[in-house]
Structure 1
Amino acid sequence: MKISTKGRYSVTALYELARHYGEGPVSLKSVAQSQGLSENYLEQLMVPLRRGGLVQSIRGAQGGYMLAKSPTEITIGAIITTVEGPIAVVDCLLAEAGAAEQKCAKACGCVTRGVWEQVCDSISQVLENITLQTLLDNAKGKENIGCAVS
Structure 2
Amino acid sequence: MKISTKGRYGLTIMIELARKHGEGPTPLKAIAREKNLSEHYLEQLASPLRNAGLIKSVRGAYGGYILAKNPGEITAGDIIRVLEGPITPVEGIEDEEPAKQALWIRIRDAVKDVLDTTTLEDLKDHEDDEQQDSYMFYI
TM-score between both structures, scaled by the size of structure 2: 0.89
**Partner SS for 2:43:** helix
Give per-residue Cα distances to partners, 1:54-78, cap 9 Å, x unaligned.
1000111111001101111111111
1:115 paired residue number: 103
CA drift at 1:111: 3.6
Aligned sequence identity (%): 48
Check if 1:134 corresponds to 2:122: yes
Query: Counterpart amino acid of 1:18?
Result: A
Distance in 2 (CA, whole Å) between partners of 1:69 and 1:37 is: 25
Contact (CA 8 Å) 2:56, 2:67: kept in 1 or not?
yes
Q: How big is the shift at 1:112? A: 1.4
SS of 1:134 mapped into structure 2: helix
Backbone CA RMSD of aligned residues: 1.6
2:68 alignment counterpart: 68
Alignment correspondent of 2:59: 59
Matches within 5 A, 1:85-96: 85-93=85-93
What is the alpha-carbon distance in structure 1 between the residues aligned to residue 36 and residue 87 of structure 2?
A: 26
CA apart distance, 1:140: 2.1
Residue 82 of structure 1: aligned partner: 82
Q: Which segments of 5 or more consecutive residues in structure 2 lack a partner in the other structure?
A: none
SS of residue matched to 1:135: helix
Q: List runs of 5+ in structure 1 lacking aligned partners.
A: 94-103
1:10 shift after superposition: 0.5
Verify the 8 A CA contact 1:13 1:35 in the aligned structure 2: no
Look up the equivalent residue of 1:57 and give its one-letter code: S
